[in-house]
Amino acid sequence: MQQIVRAVAMAFNNLPRPHRVMLGSLTVVTLAVAVWRPYVYHPSEMPPVVQNTVELDNDGQHILLPEASEPIDQPAPEPEDDTPADEIDKDVPGASDTHDYVVSTGDTLSSILNQYGIDMADLSQLVKIDKDLRNLRVGQQISWVLTEDGRLQRLSWELSRRETRTYDRVGNSFKLSSELQKGAWENQVLTGSVKGSFVSSARKTGLSSNEIGSIIKALQWQMDFRKLHAGDKFSVLMSREILNGKSEQSQLLGVRLRSGGKDYYAIRADDGKFYDRSGSGLARGFMRFPMVKQFRVSSNFNPRRLNPVTGRVAPHRGVDFAMPIGTPVLSVGDGEVIVAKRSGGAGNYVTIRHGRQYMTRYMHMKKLLVKPGQKVKRGDRVGLSGNTGRSTGPHLHYEVWVNNQAVNPLMVKLPRTEGLTGKERANYLAQVKVVIPQLKLNQSQ
Ligand SMILES: [Zn+2]
């Protein structure tokens, strides 16, 4: 498999420049199509979207109209109050401060950063410094860190397993540094069984915190790691770059976890995502909107909104839909209710956790229809909309969080149902045949 990946990467690099430019322009054309039809994901039951409501307010100076929204200094509950950090969040670094993204088809740097509300001025600075950023490739990883006021602090781009480029903010621009790795890559199988927590058991087998984090992410849609039992077994195939006898960096190729007599698998495809043994996607799709009908957006997502009175940043972490009191509010995806209560600012609100990375919040409702701990399916009613808490008119305030960071609910790329098809699926199934026999469980433990 590595040979295939490397061969493809080399083939790209060896292309004459006009060809590379052409490939780059294809991405731009794809993006143009995506802009023209702004949503990549169309749940079949949803009507087509209204396009004029999705503009991201980039000037940061937007003054909120007092109608059907919240007062600008709304003290909404912090998500930390909603999700007490569990052992996994504590022990696996990068869960909250670094944001990771794997490039997929049609992505460009601007389409990726736009959904996180990152300033387009920063983006043009980045591209000025490094034009190669216009040519992201599927499967590459991008990660970034934001400042407290939501500006880009640092961006890292993993071009290949050998090269990582980092862009650090210096004033209004960025400084580029590049790192080349020259170790030898080898595959290693690590097996263990659960005693105590998964994180501590995985550490005992020699897995690093980052590696454990990638395992948890890969299996998040199948497995709640807090509910594993003592004696559950796991086997992990890592590709590691060994330099001076030490693992410099690594990539998870596949994982098998046996819990309650059942085997769960997640195996990496060439697009950098994880699929099950048959090539099906592991995440169930999300709906774009938490309601059946469409309603006007009365206030957009804006992480750098300024309070015109105090001059301080008062982020609007969600999107407001003006809607009549009593409108059913739906969970956008499968998940578990972690909060359903009344609070001062948010009124009656619900927080739902979907897998480990995604969380959605629904505020100002008149009536709650779910309880904490309850499992919900996509499309289930979580409450009836209202005007409770600090609200200046009947509306629903809706938030989407990815890796503990609020993102623009109208722009974010949400998990899709589709699995692999055609040639990608055939390649994947060939890989599965190689990977699965290596994922043996240790019977003696
Ligand atoms: Zn709002």
Ion ligand 1 neighbours (CB, 5 A) are 70, 320, 397
| 70 burial level (CB within 10 Å; 0-12, 13-18, 19+) | buried
Contact 297, 321 (CB under 8 A): yes
The pLDDT tens digits along the chain (445 residues) read 444 444 444 444 444 444 444 444 444 334 333 333 333 333 333 333 333 333 333 333 334 344 678 876 655 677 666 655 555 555 554 444 678 888 888 888 998 888 888 888 999 999 999 999 999 998 898 999 888 777 899 999 998 877 899 999 999 899 999 888 778 889 999 999 999 889 999 999 999 988 998 999 888 888 878 788 999 999 999 999 887 788 878 899 999 999 988 999 999 998 888 888 888 877 778 888 999 988 999 999 998 887 777 778 888 999 999 999 999 999 999 899 999 999 888 999 999 999 888 999 999 999 999 999 999 999 999 999 999 998 889 999 999 998 888 999 998 888 766 778 888 899 999 999 999 999 999 876 5
The domain made up of 59-81+285-407 has a fold known as Glucose Permease (Domain IIA) (2.70.70)
CA of 363 to the centre of ligand 1 (A): 8
- Kind plus residue range of the DSSP H or E element containing 126: helix 120-129
CA of 172 to the centre of ligand 1 (A): 30
Count of C-beta atoms within a 10 Å radius of residue 65: 11
Quote the longest CA-to-CA distance of the chain. 67
List residues bridging with 149 in a β-sheet: none
Q: Tell me the two tokens of residue 322.
A: 């003006």
CA of 297 to the centre of ligand 1 (A): 10
CA of 406 to the centre of ligand 1 (A): 12
List residues bridging with 281 in a β-sheet: 275
pTM over 0.75: no
Please list the residue range(s) of the chain that carry CATH number 3.10.450.350: 2-37+105-180, 184-272+419-438
Return d(Cα 354, Cα 347) in angstroms, integer: 22
Return d(Cα 414, Cα 39) in angstroms, integer: 10
CA of 299 to the centre of ligand 1 (A): 6
Query: What's the one-letter identity of residue 145?
Result: V
The domain made up of 2-37+105-180 has a fold known as Nuclear Transport Factor 2; Chain: A, (3.10.450)
Cα 280 from chain centroid?
19
**Per-residue model confidence as pLDDT tens digits over 299-354:** 999 988 877 777 788 889 999 999 999 999 999 998 999 999 998 889 999 999 99
* Closest among 343, 350, 401, 339 to 373, alpha carbons compared: 339
Coil, strand or helix: which one is 202? helix
Please list the residue range(s) of the chain that carry CATH number 2.70.70.10: 59-81+285-407
Of the options 3.40.50.720, 3.40.309.10, 3.10.450.350, 1.20.58.1910, the CATH number for the domain spanning 184-272+419-438: 3.10.450.350
Coil, strand or helix: which one is 380? coil
